[in-house]
Structure 1
Amino acid sequence: VAVKSLRPRAMSTDTFLEEAQVMTSLAHKNIVQLLAVCTQEEPILIVTEYFEYGNLLSYMRSPSGVQLEVKTLLKIAENVAEGMAFIEKKKCIHRKLSAKSIFLTTELAAKVGDFDFAKNSTEFKATEVDVQQWYIFRWMALESILYGVFTIKSDVWSYGIVLIEIISRGASPYSGMTPPAIMMMIEEDGRCPQPDTCPDSLYEIMLQCWAKNPADRPTFEFLADYMRDLSL
């Protein structure tokens, strides 16, 4: 198993336990399984299943990961979309979706994890200070950067960035750009460029994920179906 403990002064107990509360409602084959929560004494612990291959980003940058075939990468992307579609169905938001928050089984099945920012809500408004302190602009939707608004549609934007990480086998999105430059580019309707290894059909769906109007972005249910067709 993997054990996550509440570090002193890292966050409030209520915030830490909110992660476990979200996970209790998310039992799905493509979501990290919560096994136990230990609250009787300090430190408070969250116990989940363990992944020998670790997170997706680390694995893709390993000697084994860089050799993954495109079909396998697309299957991983499908797994992530299926996990997020269940989160969408449960009316939760993740808020921290990236290749680091996805974990791989030894069979290369992907599971969404790292729910410390997740909310049992359809919308969350973060303060400007929280956005600057806790969030990483490279994965954030335009409305999240400008207004601190997070919804399942901002998770869809983040999924588009995860697709960049997957198809490039762990390359950093917006490579070489500073956060202010990224903000300026997406405000002016620029988007993360298409990697050389990325098929046009995949980049097309990424652009849909990054639509300026959140309502114009696809659902995760649609994305799961789309990725399933691509991986066949």
Structure 2
Amino acid sequence: RDFLQEARTLGRLRDPNIVRLLGVCGGPGPLCIVTEYMEHGDLHQFLGGPRGHALSLATLVHLGAQIAAGMRFLAARNFVHRDLATRNCLVGEGLRVKVADFGMSRSLYGTEYCRVRGRALLPIRWMAWESILW
């Protein structure tokens, strides 16, 4: 039920700096979401690779501005991201960066999350201390 609610919400978001949800696969097997293809993968891996090390300061500022634009779009719609990080930003053609966060697909970074009260996955390592105390 949480998965389908997240998919419905993501399906309504339309912005050049938000990853577009194309479809949902459900049924007796695993639940999956289908998003647009972002050829360079997540920003964390991209910046750590050979191309990331060669980026100019102006290009890095442009990447950050795209992320900020995506977050501004979400904030204008009262949508709280809760986990903005380079692992949740995807890089596509022409160094277009789009904010993504699909809580159900964390296998690559699964060790960076802690399950709270048996349900919610939280990025404890990256959270502000006051959020952890709350």
TM-score by length of 2: 0.81
Residue range with higher mean Cα deviation, 94-103 or 34-43 = 34-43
Q: Rg: which structure is higher? A: 1
**Could you say which residue in structure 2 is the equivalent of 1:65?**
52
Alpha-carbon shift at residue 48 of structure 1 (Å)? 0.5
Q: Map Cα deviations across residues 49-103 of structure 1 (whole Å, 9 max, x no partner).
A: 1111000010000011111001100111000011011111111111121100000
**Residues 117-162 of structure 1, C-alpha deviation per residue, up to 9 Å, x if partnerless?**
8xxxxxxxxxx9618x832334213431110xxxxxxxxxxxxxxx
Q: Do the aligned partners of 2:115 and 2:122 also contact (CA within 8 Å) in 1?
A: no
| Structure 1 position 130 matched with structure 2 position 116 | yes
Where does residue 44 of structure 1 map in the other structure?
Answer: 31
Moved over 6 A (4+): none
The aligned amino acid for 1:81 is: A
Per the alignment, in what secondary structure is the counterpart of residue 134 of structure 1?
strand
Query: Is contact 2:25–2:32 with CA below 8 Å preserved after alignment?
Result: yes
Q: Is the 8 A contact 2:20 2:36 kept in 1?
A: yes
Q: Describe the shift of the 1:29–1:129 C-alpha distance in structure 2 as closer, same or farther (beyond 3 A).
A: closer
Aligned equivalents of 1:23 and 1:64: distance in 2?
A: 30
After TM superposition, list the pairs within 5 Å mapping 1:159-174 onto structure 2.
none
Unaligned ranges ≥5, structure 1: 1-13, 118-127, 148-232
RMSD over aligned Cα atoms: 2.2
* Count of matched residue positions in the alignment of Structure 1 and Structure 2: 123
Q: What does 1:6-21 align with in structure 2 at a 5 Å threshold? A: 14-21=1-8
**1:106 maps to amino acid:** E
Q: Paired residue for 1:96?
A: 83
Amino acid at match of 1:55: D
Q: Is 1:111 equivalent to 2:98 in the alignment?
A: yes
In the alignment, structure 1 residue 83 sits paired with structure 2 residue 38: no
* Structure 1 letter corresponding to 2:89: I
**Identity %, equivalent residues:** 37
8 Å CA contact 1:80, 1:112 repeated in 2: yes
Given that residues 20 and 37 in structure 1 are in contact (C-alpha distance below 8 angstroms), is that contact kept between their aligned partners in structure 2? yes
Which residue is 1:27 aligned to?
14
What displacement does 1:46 show?
1.0
TM-score between both structures, scaled by the size of structure 1: 0.49
Q: Does 1:143 align with 2:123?
A: no
